[in-house]
C-alpha cells in the first residue's frame, strides 16, 4: 500500500503502455478507473489478459475520448488523470489524418476541460519523442525545437501545447511526460521491434522492413510505467515537459542484430518499400537527454545502455514465445 492512496483515471488503459500502467497502479494500492475504448465485443484490450486480482480491482469505464460528456463522467471522483489514449501509428496518420485530429487533439481537450471544470484534478499528459523530428542536436533536451514530420506528430505537438496552455491559462495542474520509443511485451506490430520479433519467431525466411539506418532511443515499458507512477504519486513536474528515455541510441539495423543474438538465429533483411516513410517524414535520429527526469523525479532507466536494451529484448522475446501470444499477431502482413 502506498502512503497516499489516489483515485486515478487511466485513459488508454486497454493499450500497450496503459495496461502495464494500470496493473502497476493496482499493485501499489491505488483506486484505478480504467478508461477503455468502447466496442461491441466488450473487449478491454490487454486488460482482458490481466491477472484476476487486477480485473477485480479496477473500475472499467468504456467510452471514447472524443466524447466530452463521457469524459466528464469518467472523471467523477478522480484525483489524478494519466492520459494515454491516442492514435499513434504513423503510417495510418498519412491515410487518415482527420482521425488523429479528432482523437489526439479534441480528445485531449476533452480530458483537460473535464479536469479544469472539476478543479484540482492533476493531469499527466502523454507526449512522444516524435514531436522533435530528426534530432538537430543530441542528446535531445526538452528545449529542442519541435518539428512535425508526420500528421501524427503534428497532432501530438498540438495536444502537448493544449495541455501546457491549460496549465498557464487556468492553473490546471498539468504535467507532460515525453517517452522515447517505449517497447516490450504487448506492443503492437505497427512498431518496429515487435515487427522484427514476430517475423523472426514465425519463421519468415527474410525480415521485411523499411529503412535500417535511423536511430532510436528504445525505452523498456517498465521504465516508462515507473515514470508515470512517480508523476502520479508525487505531483512533481507541473507545467513542465519531462523526457523519459534510456539516453542510448541504436540503429534499426543494429537492433536487428541484437534480436538475432537473443533469438539465436541469423536474420536476413529485405527492404519493403511500403514500410518506408516518405523521405522528409522519416525521423532519422532520436536520442534522449533524461537529465530532467533524474533531477525532477529521481527517475533513471533500469534498462539503460546496450546491456539494458538486450535484457529488455530478451524479456520481450520470452513473452512472445509463451503459448498463445505470437498467435495474436499477423507476422506475414504489414501492420499499418
Q: Which of 37, 152, 183, 303 is catalytic?
A: 152
Name the strand (E) or helix (H) holding 312.
helix 305-321
Cell, residue 259: 534480436
Q: Evaluate whether 288 touches 138 at the Cβ level (below 8 Å).
A: no
Handedness of CA 287, 291, 294, 296 (dihedral sign): negative
CA distances, 333 to each of 93, 175, 201, 256, 330 (Å): 18, 38, 14, 18, 6
d(Cα 250, Cα 323) in Å, to the nearest integer? Answer: 30
Q: Evaluate whether 129 touches 288 at the Cβ level (below 8 Å).
A: yes
Give Cβ neighbours of residue 126 (< 8 Å, ≥ 6 apart): 12, 17, 82, 83, 84, 86, 176, 177, 179
Q: At what angle do helices 221-234 and 16-27 cross, to 10 degrees?
A: 50
Cell, residue 39: 466496442
152: annotated active-site residue: yes
Catalytic residue list: 152
Amino acid at each position: 500500500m502506498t502512503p497516499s492512496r489516489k483515485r486515478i483515471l487511466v485513459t488508454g488503459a486497454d493499450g500497450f503502455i496503459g495496461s502495464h500502467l494500470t496493473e502497476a497502479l493496482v499493485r501499489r494500492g491505488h483506486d484505478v478507473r480504467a478508461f477503455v475504448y468502447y466496442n461491441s465485443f466488450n473487449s478491454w484490450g490487454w486488460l482482458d489478459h490481466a491477472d484476476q486480482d487486477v480485473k477485480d480491482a479496477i473500475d472499467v469505464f468504456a467510452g471514447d475520448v472524443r466524447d466530452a460528456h463521457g469524459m466528464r463522467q469518467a472523471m467523477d471522483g478522480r484525483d489524478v488523470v494519466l492520459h494515454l489514449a491516442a492514435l499513434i501509428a504513423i503510417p495510418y496518420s498519412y491515410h487518415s489524418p482527420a482521425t488523429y485530429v479528432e482523437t489526439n487533439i479534441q480528445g485531449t481537450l476533452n480530458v483537460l476541460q473535464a479536469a479544469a471544470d472539476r478543479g484540482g484534478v492533476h493531469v499527466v499528459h502523454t507526449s512522444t519523442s516524435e514531436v522533435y523530428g530528426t534530432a538537430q542536436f543530441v542528446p535531445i533536451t526538452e528545449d529542442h525545437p519541435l518539428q512535425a514530420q508526420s500528421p501524427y506528430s503534428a497532432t501530438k505537438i498540438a495536444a502537448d501545447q493544449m495541455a501546457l496552455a491549460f496549465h498557464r491559462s487556468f492553473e490546471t495542474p498539468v504535467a507532460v511526460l515525453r517517452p522515447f520509443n517505449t517497447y516490450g511485451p504487448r506492443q503492437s506490430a505497427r512498431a518496429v521491434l515487435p515487427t522484427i520479433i514476430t517475423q523472426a519467431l514465425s519463421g519468415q525466411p527474410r525480415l521485411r522492413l523499411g529503412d535500417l539506418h535511423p536511430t532510436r532511443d528504445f525505452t523498456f515499458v517498465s521504465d516508462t510505467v515507473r515514470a508515470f507512477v512517480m508523476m502520479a504519486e508525487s505531483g512533481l513536474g507541473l507545467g513542465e515537459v519531462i523526457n523519459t528515455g534510456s539516453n542510448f541510441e541504436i540503429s534499426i539495423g543494429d537492433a536487428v542484430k541484437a534480436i538475432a543474438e537473443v533469438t539465436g538465429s541469423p536474420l536476413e533483411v529485405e527492404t519493403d518499400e511500403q514500410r518506408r516513410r516518405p523521405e522528409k517524414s522519416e525521423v532519422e535520429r532520436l536520442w534522449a537527454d533524461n537529465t530532467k527526469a533524474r533531477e525532477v523525479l529521481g527517475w533513471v532507466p533500469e534498462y539503460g545502455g546496450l546491456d539494458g536494451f538486450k535484457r529488455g529484448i530478451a524479456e520481450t522475446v520470452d513473452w512472445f514465445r509463451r503459448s498463445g501470444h505470437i498467435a495474436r499477431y499477423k507476422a506475414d502482413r504489414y501492420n499499418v
